[in-house]
Amino acid sequence: MTSLIFNSVVRALQPLLLFFSVFLLLSGHHAPGGGFTGGMVAASAFVLYGMATDTAAARRALRVPLPVLMGVGLLLALASGLVSVVSGEPFLTSVWLKFGAGVLGEVELGTPLLFDLGVYLVVMGVTLTFVASLAEE
């Protein structure tokens, strides 16, 4: 697509969308959002970029090959389930880490976030694979 308006808007939108996707990912446990939505938004940022330039450029911008994205995502989700097994709890039990972090107040980090991060990467990888294979047909 060669539209000046579209290209300029995408240029501004892409980083915003990526930021927004991370926000969705992090807020997911207690508020609407999560790995799936975040992954979709992140994927849409790259889809828009691909529409403004071409798929090869979008692949370069992503830096990581799509199968690797999916594989790492699956492994992260799997690892989040195995954390609890180490301490003798059943698979997939949530493990939480609470600590004070200065200005941020008390921060809770847990395996659900790791799981969500895995989902984020898998959703992003799968969506982009769909779109790329359709666009390159």
Partner 1 sequence: MSLLLVAPIVIPLATAALGLVVRGPRAHLGLSLVGGAALLASTLALLGQVLRGGTRATQLGTWPAPFGITLVADLLAAVMLAVSSLIGLVILVYSVETIDAERRAHGYYPLLHVLLMGVCGAFLAGDLFNLYVWFEVMLIASFVLLSLGGERAQLEGSVKYVTLNLLASLMFLSAVGLLYGLAGTLNMADLAVKLREAPRPGLLLAPGMLLLGAFGIKAAAFPVFSWLPPAYHTPPIAVSALFSGLLTKVGVYALLRAFTLLFVQDVGFTHGLLAWVAGLTMLTGVLGAAAQMEFRRLLAFHIISQIGYMLMGLALLSAGGLAGAVLYVVHNILAKTNLFLVSGMAARVSGTYDLKALGGLYRSRPLLSVLFLVPAFALAGMPPLSGFFAKLTLVRAGLEQERYVLVGTAVTVSLLTLFSMTKVWSEAFWKEPPEQPAPSGRLPLSLVVPSATLALLTCLLGLFADEALAVGTRLAEELLSHQAYVAAVMGARP
| Interface ranges with partner 1 (CB under 8 A) | 67-68, 70-72, 74-75, 78, 81-82, 84-85, 89-94
Of 22 and 92, the one with the shorter C-beta distance to partner 1 is: 92
Of 114, 134, 130, which is closest to residue 40 (Cα–Cα)?
130
Of 61 and 75, the one with the shorter C-beta distance to partner 1 is: 75
Of 9 and 82, the one with the shorter C-beta distance to partner 1 is: 82
- Minimum CB separation of residue 8 from partner 1 in Å reads 36
Positive or negative, the CA dihedral 17, 22, 25, 26 is: negative
- Minimum CB separation of residue 33 from partner 1 in Å reads 20
* Structural contact between residues 120 and 25, judged by C-beta atoms closer than 8 angstroms: yes
**How many Å apart are CA 120 and CA 131, to the nearest integer?**
17
